[in-house]
Chain A
């Protein structure tokens, strides 16, 4: 697309557009003031749900309250969220194959950096997964770090080997949701309610679900970055 060097003459259309934009500022400012007033009028001290979470934290199997809420008290939300992630990927894949990019081969710096960083990123993801039980961290943070490693590899020109782009890739994608559902169904069959972990196994079950979820989230986010179904027979 070529841009003309001559400055565009201000037409009636342009000035009308500017008028519309100025007019738009009025209701939006009113909205901002209203929302700001609503935020300011909230009580400055609110107990929230911290006390309820703290009271039940011992039975949740983890000591980090955020992880306890995500994987235990509100495990249902997280289960559905993994489903949303898969649905989004399904939507992207159904739109067509990944666009073929004809990029120049990556420079030496990216090539070397990706080789150095990817093992480190995988290590950090594993640490975040493990630390999530007692400190900020968990499946989503670990999954995003894992996805970063995947994106870095994709940017450096690596592609999944055709041996893995079929069933193994799909298995990795559904592992999180699958393990989560399996745990839920087994717990129901054992006489509990949906995702009601027995306190003695809760920690191990949460770690199991989180490990599978990390793998799935990382793979799904990297696959979303690719922007389409991976080509059959594509090589790295």
Chain B
């Protein structure tokens, strides 16, 4: 098994672990972190699969990952700001089970 394939499989594992945490935890910070772990898994798969070319790795996949990282960081920042607002409004950093009155 080539190292690139191993990295890709680790990426798949990270994605699944993140998905599990996303479903299981109710706290919003944990959900945001879980989504970030999932995104890291996707990036790892993309970068690893880009190494399948002969010579230098496929630059298009690398450029996609750089774009993805920046978008992930901005989305995380927005999610954290929204979480703080939810906490300020309801006193809990969790989504309500029932719709608020």
Q: Which residues of B contact A181 (CB under 8 A)?
A: none
Determine whether B9 belongs to the interface, using a CB cutoff of 8 Å to chain A: yes
Known: A43-B52, A70-B66, A95-B82. A49 touches B60 (CB 8 A): yes
The number of A-B residue pairs with CB atoms under 8 Å apart is 124
A224 and B77 contact, Cβ closer than 8 Å, known pairs A24-B23, A32-B16, A39-B8: yes
A171 at the interface (CB under 8 A from B): no
B77 touches A225 (CB 8 A): yes
**B contact residues, range:** 35 or more
With beta carbons under 8 angstroms apart, the residue of A31, A74, A221 that contacts B63 is A74
Checking A50, A66, A88, A227 against B74 with a beta-carbon cut-off of 8 angstroms, the contacting residue is: A88
With a CB–CB cut-off of 8 A, which chain A residues contact B70?
81, 84-85, 140, 217
Instruction: Decide: B66 and A25 in contact? CB cutoff 8 A.
Output: no
B61 CB within 8 Å of chain A: yes
- Is A47 on the interface with B (CB-CB < 8 A)? yes
For chain A, what secondary structure do more than half of its interface residues adopt (helix, strand, loop), or is it mixed?
A: helix
Closest residue of chain B to A143 (Cβ to Cβ) is B70
Give residues in A with beta carbon < 8 Å to B. Answer: 21, 24-25, 28-29, 31-32, 35-36, 39-40, 42-50, 53, 65-66, 68-70, 74, 77-78, 81, 84-85, 87-89, 91-92, 95-96, 99, 138, 140, 217, 220-221, 224-225, 227-228
- Inter-chain contact A42/B58, CB cutoff 8 Å: no
- Extra inter-chain contacts (18) besides given A48-B60, A81-B70, A91-B81, CB under 8 Å: A28-B19, A29-B16, A32-B16, A39-B8, A44-B2, A44-B52, A46-B52, A47-B53, A48-B58, A48-B61, A49-B58, A50-B55, A65-B59, A78-B67, A81-B71, A89-B74, A92-B81, A95-B85
